[in-house]
Structure 1
């Protein structure tokens, strides 16, 4: 791994898939593929000290920016794992050293180290995060529409049963930047829907 500190052409390096904006702050644990680790060359062929430092660096990467990466500076890496620099460098020169399978990558113009296992783990974590966010947004939208439907029905029962009208009014309120949907805003929204509906009807008649 000594080669990692040599100058490299950043344009030839693979691009790291995540940026500094990607965060997994709510994840306080790291999924670990136990069977894969038990049968890996790193565990079977690496020295105990190398395996320990390898595991440390994997954990440390999750708290760096971009998430999942490590700096390329060997002295910095040695400090991160509380190891003498020369000893750390010697360990990294072994076939299964602490930086086994860590490779340089292009992080938006900065050279850092990435590991395929960490990238895979992060990809799955961020995918779950986005999936949960989408589910929460869908649930919040459904609740908001239901509240709006009940409110509109208090003014006009048939209008409250009109899905298209309720969704249009909801979108209109959002576009107006309405925070609290009080009576005044609801009345204005219903009026806007009436104008919109009238224009549509006139357009249809004109087309026919």
Structure 2
């Protein structure tokens, strides 16, 4: 295990099938360096990688193997490597995270989004959120 990287904040043996969404902080995206400077093909690849990372186990992480990233995006490895060579690339802002014995990649926004999804799920499991099907998870409830 490496002590120089972030530690995954949740137990690795949890079943995550209840996490099916994550918030997109669109204002932070649009006003941040990535949203302003990254080309649209880079932004699209980054968003799809974030979505893929949320369905991974553990959620909000990707393996370090960039050839797998190309596979997840249905891109040829050389096309993916070309995107990665750009000044602002689809892995902009991603960091390494220790997940048990394995080091993976994560993005801080994904960890924030996962925390929100976990909170909302716990509220639903306790029966404290009364919502109609199709409404946002925290509809009708004050934040906090």
Shorter-chain TM-score: which interval? 0.7 to 0.9
Q: Which structure has the highest helix share of the two?
A: 1
Aligned 8 A contact 1:16 1:114 in 2: no
Q: How far 1:132 sits from its partner (Å)?
A: 3.3
1:41, 1:28 → 2: CA distance? 28
Partner residue of 2:37 out of 26, 45, 49: 45
| Structure index of larger Rg | 1
Aligned 8 A contact 2:60 2:110 in 1: yes
Which residue of 2 is the match for residue 18 of structure 1? 10
2:25, 2:15 → 1: CA distance? 22
Which residue of 2 is the match for residue 71 of structure 1? 63
TM-score of the superposed pair, with normalisation by structure 2: 0.78
Which residue of 1 is the match for residue 137 of structure 2? none
Structure 1: 5+ residue runs without aligned partners? 1-8, 137-208
Q: How far 1:10 sits from its partner (Å)?
A: 2.5
Q: How far 1:16 sits from its partner (Å)?
A: 1.2
1:93, 1:19 → 2: CA distance? 34
Write the mapping of 1:135-174 to structure 2, written as runs, cut at 5 A. Answer: 135=127
Q: How far 1:19 sits from its partner (Å)?
A: 3.4
RMSD: 1.9
- Aligned-partner SS, 2:89: coil
Q: How far 1:67 sits from its partner (Å)?
A: 0.9
